[in-house]
Structure 1
Amino acid sequence: MTRRPLPSDRPCDPRTPREIVTAAECVLFDFDGPIAGLFSHHRAHEVARVLLRRIAGWGLAPALSDPDDPIQIIRDTAIALAGSSAHHRIAELEELLCAQEIRAARSAVPTDHAYELVEWLMKRGTKLAVSTNNSAAAVNTYLERTGLAPFFGPHVHGRLADPTLMKPDPACLTAGLRSTGAAAVDSLMIGDSESDVAAARAAGVAFLGYARNDAKDRRLRQAGAQHVVRSFDRLIGDGG
């Protein structure tokens, strides 16, 4: 299959989101948002409370940028403990968060048209991977539950043991490129956060934003996303 070159990240890029997707030889999906609403039922702020109780039990009070965001809590705690001998604390917190994410994955709500988009891309021969700040175990739990696991196979790249390597660090994106054998210049990331925009830029891959509402759309564009879609249905198929 002959593919068009992926567009560069230019303010006046004339290509449409569909053209960007069809040009990609590899698509790296963020998980929470583009594929599913991970904390749709087991809410993020509830998970955050679990983590904060554990941290308080250690007698710690790290500065937190968002006490309702479990991902941000583990990142901020890791930064606060950097250089100390408390690596076991971070490992314990990671294990706790992973268990909570797996619980959430069992009731996560599929993103509209995400299954159809993934299936369509696979039929086109596009390489697929997940590059996420969530745990790979939680992602795989969801993929198995919803029948998406065969589309991604072993190409699920989640949070590493060092939380400071989460996006906006490009580590999980470069892992996805390595595992699929894809070149960054031929690849695209679909994400829904400012950290996704930054990670894609750092990894050298094109970016397509997914926004559920006006506020998310605005934040993605302010972070530098040139292309943002509200639904995946217009990306699927060969029509205009």
Structure 2
Amino acid sequence: MPFETENDPNRLPHLIRRARVVLWDFDGPICRLFAGHSAERVAGDLVSWLEGRGLRGLLSDNERQTLDPQVVLRAVDRRHPGSDLVAELEERLTQEELRAASSAWPTPYADPLIRTWTAVGSRLAITTNNSPRVVRKYLASRGLVDCFAPHIYGRTQELRLLKPDPHCLNRALSAMGAAPGDALMIGDAPSDLAAAERAGVPFLGYARNDRKAKFLLEAGAESVVGSLETLLKLLRE
């Protein structure tokens, strides 16, 4: 069921029909990566690891209390960009994401939507702030690698280029030879929307609950769906 984000009933079918290339965020639209492996605990473990090295002062009180491990990683990178410390912290997060991939929950209707979109001739890419190693592991477990490979663009050592920077979207568009206006970005966070806007790519929000929808709408998203079934039905029509 789409959220009431607009008055034009033709907007969503138009977005779907014109998309020659579909850029997917990973954690959210494709799966809930940390469904069985608490992101809050991972963030706490990263903070504890830093404190064990006498680096408590690198983080503000808010950053130490965050529920998001990416916040910890990016905070350290802002203070020590490109350092060995950041590289080690990033690898620790990647290992936690790899563990999480084994118990991730598929987003309802994501698998058939991905296969159907591929079958009708659209090309798909992943544009995510997660490790590309993690994405490949999850997609392989679902038999979906061939729907995306080789177009999986995830976190690199240059953390300043994570979304909302459009770097991963621009990499995908360049590699696929696609114009921004011929693409569609599907994401579940305001940072996805910001990256899409900066890349000139139309955006479709996915929100699994009202709280997520509220964040996207307040950020300016014009189209938000609460279920990927909506897109699957439009595509099959």
**Shared fold per TM-score greater than 0.5:** yes
In structure 2, the partner of 1:3 is none
Q: Are 1:203 and 2:199 counterparts? A: yes
In the TM superposition, residue 182 of structure 1 has moved relative to its aligned partner by 1.3
The verdict on how the C-alpha distance between 1:76 and 1:174 changes in structure 2, with shifts beyond 3 A counting, is same
Measured in 1, the distance between the counterparts of 2:109 and 2:176 equals 24
Measured in 2, the distance between the counterparts of 1:209 and 1:49 equals 29
In structure 2, the partner of 1:232 is 228
Equivalent position SS for 1:236: helix
In the TM superposition, residue 207 of structure 1 has moved relative to its aligned partner by 0.2
Greater RCO, CA 8 A, separation 6+: 2
In structure 1, the partner of 2:142 is 146
In the TM superposition, residue 235 of structure 1 has moved relative to its aligned partner by 1.1
Question: Which of 31, 39, 48 is matched with 1:53 structurally?
Answer: 48
In structure 2, the partner of 1:77 is 76
In the TM superposition, residue 22 of structure 1 has moved relative to its aligned partner by 2.0
In structure 2, the partner of 1:22 is 17
Q: RMSD value over aligned CA atoms?
A: 1.8
Equivalent position SS for 2:125: strand
In the TM superposition, residue 55 of structure 1 has moved relative to its aligned partner by 1.4
The one-letter amino acid of 2:15's match is I
Higher helix share: 2
What do residues 2-60 of structure 1 show as CA deviations (whole Å, max 9, x unaligned)? xxxxxxxxx77663323312210100000000000000001101111221122112322
Question: Which of 213, 217, 220 is matched with 1:217 structurally?
Answer: 213
Q: How does 1:48-127 map to 2 (within 5 A)?
A: 48-60=43-55, 61=57, 62-63=59-60, 64-65=62-63, 67-82=66-81, 87-127=83-123
What do residues 83-137 of structure 1 show as CA deviations (whole Å, max 9, x unaligned)? xxx7100000111111110110111110000011111110111010000000000
Q: How does 1:162-177 map to 2 (within 5 A)?
A: 162-177=158-173
Unaligned ranges ≥5, structure 1: 1-10
How many residue pairs match? The answer is 228
In structure 2, the partner of 1:7 is none
Q: Are 1:44 and 2:39 counterparts? A: yes
Q: Are 1:34 and 2:33 counterparts? A: no
The one-letter amino acid of 1:29's match is W
Equivalent position SS for 2:136: helix
Q: Percent identity among equivalent residues?
A: 44
TM-score (norm 2): 0.91
Measured in 2, the distance between the counterparts of 1:204 and 1:139 equals 25
Does the 8 Å CA contact 1:28/1:129 hold for their aligned counterparts? yes
